[in-house]
Amino acid sequence: MPGLVADKILVTGALGQIGTELVEALREKHGPANVIASDIRGENTKASTNGGVHVLLDVLDTEAIITLCRQEGVGTIYHLAALLSATGEQNPELCRKVNVGGTISVLEAAKECSLRVFIPSSIAVFGPDAPKHAPQVTALNPTTVYGETKVKGELLAQEYWEKHGIDVRGIRYPGLISYKAPAGGGTTDYAVEIFEAALKDRYYNCFVRPDTRLPMLYMDDAIRATLMLMDAQVDTLGPSKAGYNIDCQSFTAEELAQAIAKEVDGFTCDFSPDVRQTYADSWPDSVDGSIAKQEWNWSPTYDLDEMVKAMLHGLSNKQEVR
């Protein structure tokens, strides 16, 4: 649209675990009117609870994304809409369609409207042949369909960067732990569910083995990492920009249960692994985030005990408000 400065932000998948908190952070930083939340679900609202707009948008509808970006003067997309690993393995076709198809739609819109883009990748890009402390650069042979879609997402981001000059950045998020919105059907959901169960029932039956060790991060750190990467000067970013490993925590399910038991009297945890154990076993225990540290100075702030305290405090306050 002539004369319109394209500086608004569009978030896809905004009602999910990450979107709920990213929209809040972006609205705080840029002003509520400059951040458009969108999802395939929810109501169209001119003014949502935190003062911004929410629109219904299916990320498979490229034309709708382009029209919205042109009409509203969008300059940046945070593309969060996707199916996570556990849901994705139950419905691989839909997982490929939404995760790869949605990414192509967003990148095509970025090409048409000269947008900057953030697309999350995941530790699920690694397969069982990767070192258990996964380096930034190694063979990516995931055994989950979800992981395949995340590798494809990184490759697409690199392709659009190289062929079309689109500024696309991404982080290989570890399992994210938060309390503001429910976890969205991933393998790492046990590390979220366990907190609500501890406060409600003082008991959790965990769906992975006690010795299952995975990279994890508290949501406050994940949001901060996302904003830091998007604020970084483009000429500081090297070839890993489509999917950075980032330094984070690494603990077993049993260590998490023990850390919670120190804070919640009488809390106990059993372990009854299901199919999600297979996905967890195919991922690394920890990742080497030294390139993200060098290029945009990333380091996390929460350790396991601090994260457990923050989660229990946040959830208790939320339950009081309910």
**Which residues are at the interface with ligand SER (CB under 6 A)?**
84-85, 122, 124, 175, 186-188
- Nearest residue relative to ligand NAD (C-beta): 16
- Minimum distance of ligand SER from residue 7's CB (angstroms): 30
Select from ligand NAD, ligand SER, none the partner in contact with residue 18, using the beta carbon and a kind-dependent cut-off of 5 to 8 Å: ligand NAD
Nearer to ligand NAD, 146 or 296 (CB): 146
Select from ligand SER, ligand NAD, none the partner in contact with residue 199, using the beta carbon and a kind-dependent cut-off of 5 to 8 Å: none
- What tokens were used for 168? 């696309």
Look at the block and give the residue holding tokens 């990767």: 130
Say how far apart CA 301 and CA 285 lie, in whole Å. 19
173 part of the active site:
no
Select from ligand SER, ligand NAD, none the partner in contact with residue 206, using the beta carbon and a kind-dependent cut-off of 5 to 8 Å: none
Using CB under 6 A as the criterion, which residues of the chain lie in contact with ligand NAD when the complex forms? 12-13, 15-19, 39-41, 57-60, 80-82, 84, 98, 102, 120, 122, 173, 175-176, 184-186, 188
- Minimum distance of ligand SER from residue 164's CB (angstroms): 27
Select from ligand SER, ligand NAD, none the partner in contact with residue 229, using the beta carbon and a kind-dependent cut-off of 5 to 8 Å: none
* Residue 202 main-chain phi, psi, to 5 deg: 55, 25
Helix (H, G, I), strand (E, B) or coil at 9: strand
Which alpha helices (H) appear in 238-303, and where do they start and end?
A: 253-261, 276-281, 290-296
Select from ligand NAD, ligand SER, none the partner in contact with residue 227, using the beta carbon and a kind-dependent cut-off of 5 to 8 Å: none
Say how far apart CA 119 and CA 96 lie, in whole Å. 15
Which residue, among 192, 174, 171, 170, has the nearest Cα to 183 in the 3D structure?
192
Task: Say which of 78, 146, 218, 279 is annotated catalytic.
Answer: 146
- Minimum distance of ligand SER from residue 92's CB (angstroms): 14
* Residue 210 main-chain phi, psi, to 5 deg: -60, -30
- Minimum distance of ligand NAD from residue 148's CB (angstroms): 12
Nearer to ligand NAD, 199 or 219 (CB): 219
Q: Residue 18 contacts by C-beta under 8 Å, 6 or more apart in sequence?
A: 80, 120, 173, 176, 219, 222, 223
Say how far apart CA 161 and CA 168 lie, in whole Å. 6
Looking at the DSSP bridge assignments, the partners of residue 271 are 206
- Minimum distance of ligand NAD from residue 289's CB (angstroms): 14
As annotated, the active-site residues are 146
